[in-house]
Copies of this chain bind each other. A is one copy, B any other.
């Protein structure tokens, strides 16, 4: 739906020299540089510097890239672990008018090649750890002309095809280089979705979108009544890789807040926890899989996790996992969004009015409340908006000023994404009268059985409470009689008898059928006990592989 310009609205007269303030990423730096010049940015146990030095390095990087031939509009791809250098790229590359392509290094080599090629990157910045990969891909990357290597230690040797080392480039003064001003609708970043279907598609975000996502994100995270919040005085560490939707936009939020930031490099559980304790980290965000890893490592090592707020996204936060995190001292709560939505749409928060402890945990696990400016609706298959009654379900459709306007180079998918003027999330959910969103399933994961829709997430939630179940996933399996029947894949906790566990799983679902919560064909036909569930590159359960796999 295009913007209708109502004829006749009054437009303001402007002084000839009045500054027409564009919403550019560089504008996010005014406040932190004025108020927090001495605040720290930390990279593992390797490097520590101040915001003031961070800011001095940005024009050095901009100037160096310019000398290497990076022009406004050209694309610079970055392959790195979570680092202060990646943060510098988050700012300096878009600020110079170029496009930052963040490369998902967990994809298969051929997919990485595809995303690099698809992004049109002419310049690639990569961490030395990826040198073997880059060397093997290079013959198949005709578009990439300039390679820059990122080293944690000063390493004199570098292959001949590498034009420069990052730290050498930044050792040179900026020599008059200044970041210019341009249209706020200029593309700032691109990256590829890691959906479980089809090949990766590139989403696109502009300067304006990132600035607005940052402001609205602070508006939501900082304004919580108490707890579940991220404010000045906090210490930030991402646990969502920086290649993935700008680490949910949080590094921009942390920078605008002017708080201490800690970048952990490659995620290694014991080192993460040591770094967290040493630097006093108070706020992080991750997918459930990473939270599980953090909890089990902390348990093994006997580490206290008190004083840590963690926002969970990417997949639903199961009640059982939330309980475990709360028991470990983590102020855990869910958020909701996806690559296409920049990503944050909703954040779960307590009001302080919930007296029942179970109600409190349940609320932490809901997708939460829309952040400022997000228009969130539930629509049926004919795009009819459903009431916010907690009962009516449908697809979650949204508008916000930071959603990708489409997939780069894929007009058909773009039209499908935006049909009817709303972005289609392909998630099925209901909105409660409190404005909280409850996601019940992915549209494609809903199990269509006996003429009804059964939520695979609801079944997984029930099964996750069965004693001795560590993790569960349910997918639909074709059935000549019912259309589809649920097939549960269950990872046991420790050694258990497979047959008995399968019976317990069926009994748990059966109990809900008895209570009238589920139809009787919701009881899984098949229960497969397995050592591990297949995961996507960002740690989500890969249901496509479950459906395809030998099961």
* Chain A residues near B (Cβ < 8 Å): 1-23, 27-28, 30-31, 34-37, 71-73, 75, 97, 99, 180-183, 185-187, 204, 206, 211-212, 215-216, 218-219, 222-226, 231-233, 256-257, 349, 351-352, 369-376, 388, 399-401, 403-406, 408-409, 411, 414-415, 417-423, 431, 433-436
Contacts and interface: CB of A to CB of B under 8 A. Distances in A.
A406 B14 contact: yes
Given A72-B8, A180-B4, A181-B4, A369 B31 contact: yes
Given A6-B72, A415-B15, A415-B17, A375 B185 contact: no
Contacts of A405: 12-15, 18, 20
Contact of A216 (B215, B373, B420, B431): B215
A403 B411 CA distance: 39
Contacts of A414: 13-15, 18
A408 B14 CA distance: 9
Contact of A223 (B17, B18, B232, B375): B232
Contacts of A404: 12
Q: Which residue among A4, A372, A376, A435 has the maximum number of chain B CB atoms within 10 Å of its CB?
A: A372
Contacts of A421: 17-19
A181 to B, nearest CB: 5
Contact of A71 (B4, B8, B36, B409): B8
Contacts of A400: 21
Contact of A375 (B7, B27, B211, B423): B27
A9 B408 CA distance: 15
Given A371-B31, A400-B21, A15 B406 contact: yes
A401 B21 CA distance: 5
Please tell me how many copies of the chain the complex holds: 2
A339 to B, nearest CB: 15
Contact of A73 (B10, B17, B352): B10
A37 B204 CA distance: 34
A164 to B, nearest CB: 23
B12 A375 contact: no
B223 A399 contact: no
B182 A9 contact: yes
A204 B18 CA distance: 13
Given A23-B401, A73-B8, A370-B35, A225 B231 contact: yes
Given A15-B415, A73-B10, A405-B18, A372 B231 contact: no
A387 to B, nearest CB: 12
B216 A3 contact: no
A72 B231 contact: no
A223 B5 contact: no
A222 B225 contact: no
Contacts of A373: 21, 27-28, 30-31, 211, 215
A185 B433 CA distance: 34
10 contacts: A1-B19, A3-B183, A11-B185, A13-B406, A15-B415, A17-B420, A27-B401, A31-B372, A218-B372, A225-B231
Contacts of A8: 71-73, 97
Contacts of A186: 6, 9-11
Given A232-B224, A369-B34, A9 B183 contact: yes
B11 A183 contact: yes
A187 B9 CA distance: 7
